[in-house]
Amino acid sequence: MADLRVDLAGVALRNPFLLASGIWGESGESLKGVWAAGAGGVITKSIGREPRAGYPNPTVESYDRWGFLNAMGLPNPGIEEYPQEIAIARGAGALVVGSVFGHDADEFADLAERLAATGVAALELNLSCPHAEGLGAEVGSDPGAVEEICRAVVRRVRLPVIAKLTPNTHDIAALAVAAERAGAAAVSAINTVRGLSIDATLRRPTLSHGLGGLSGPAIKPVGLACVWQIYEKVRIPIVGVGGIGRAEDALEYVLAGARAVEVGTAVAFEGVGVFGRLARDLSSRLDALGVSRLSDLVGAAHRESGAGATAAAP
């Protein structure tokens, strides 16, 4: 059996499949269920300073099997309440990564410090939500802000810090370089791709917030391109996210440069059983390829390709 274990910036994962933030991570019990189903680790919902109700419905539009357009508005119970959920998941032995969002470096650093105290293995910074005013991608599409936020968090906590980046920018690699310069241990890419759905009968956007973020199989090529471009510019590990629902998708991300991957929309489509299936299928796929360790394949497609793949198509 191929070895799927991953060292992600010093965090030992039993396999590369992490639960992506915001899907199935609302409670300790749900995180526990994902761990029991075989995930390599679970990432919490993004947690902020205060409880947030999120936007009114409708907040999600489903495109058959292609994915979701969502604008949830970062609903979460706030940093006072959420640690007890982490305790439940950790009590079941789960490897938990905490996710935080904020308006500025101080807020990120405060939240990171408080989440670090819960015993999480690493922290992911949501610098990339595409539909929250003054938060997420609004701060995270500026390399200077990414650097400042990452530096503030890295100074405050002793845990590996993962900067989650937005694809809604012309140069995601510049964001990754800024995170690396600030001392981030890893970057994850991508959060959702900005999108809009219109209800032609009502003559208005389908989601209450208007703009949303697209996820699922439709965005896999975007995620792959982002990981590819980042791999060419930074040495810290990359976590690939976006449209992963089959072992083959994960393998493509690894070949593009990802060391681990996150799974979101596929969990909503299929349930937590997706994690066991992905690990089994990836192991069989590697056996069939005669590859004994997944980590040997990280970035391998760069070595096989000429320079052409790095240039954008006309």
Ligand X SMILES: Cc1cc2nc3c(=O)[nH]c(=O)nc-3n(C[C@H](O)[C@H](O)[C@H](O)COP(=O)(O)O)c2cc1C
Check binding of 46 to ligand X (CB under 6 A). yes
Nearest to 212 by CA among 77, 69, 12: 69
Catalytic residue among 13, 86, 129, 193: 129
Pair 182, 146: CB distance under 8 Å: yes
Of the residues 15, 21, 30, 141, which one makes contact with ligand X according to CB under 6 A: 21
Nearer to ligand X, 29 or 287 (CB): 29
CA-only gyration radius of the chain, Å: 18
Determine if the peptide bond prior to 143 is cis (ω within 30°): no
Q: Is 150 a catalytic residue?
A: no
Check binding of 215 to ligand X (CB under 6 A). yes
Nearer to ligand X, 11 or 311 (CB): 11
Residues 113-152 that bind ligand X (CB under 6 A): 126, 129
| Distance, CA of 299 to CA of 227 (rounded, Å) | 9
How many chain residues are in contact with ligand X, going by CB under 6 A? Answer: 27
Which residue number places its CB atom closest to ligand X?
22
CB 192 → ligand X: shortest distance, Å?
Answer: 5
Task: Give residue 237's Cα distance to chain centre.
Answer: 13
Pair 266, 281: CB distance under 8 Å: no
Residues 60-79 that bind ligand X (CB under 6 A): 68, 70, 72, 74
Of the residues 77, 140, 243, 257, which one makes contact with ligand X according to CB under 6 A: 243
Q: Phi/psi class of residue 73: alpha, beta or left (left: φ > 0; alpha: ψ in -120 to 50)? A: left
| Distance, CA of 301 to CA of 286 (rounded, Å) | 15
Q: How many CA atoms lie within 13 A of 34 on its CB side?
A: 34
CB 191 → ligand X: shortest distance, Å?
Answer: 4
Q: Give the residues lining the site for ligand X (CB under 6 A).
A: 20-23, 45-46, 68, 70, 72, 74, 99, 126, 129, 164, 191-192, 215-216, 219, 241-244, 263-266
Active site residues: 129
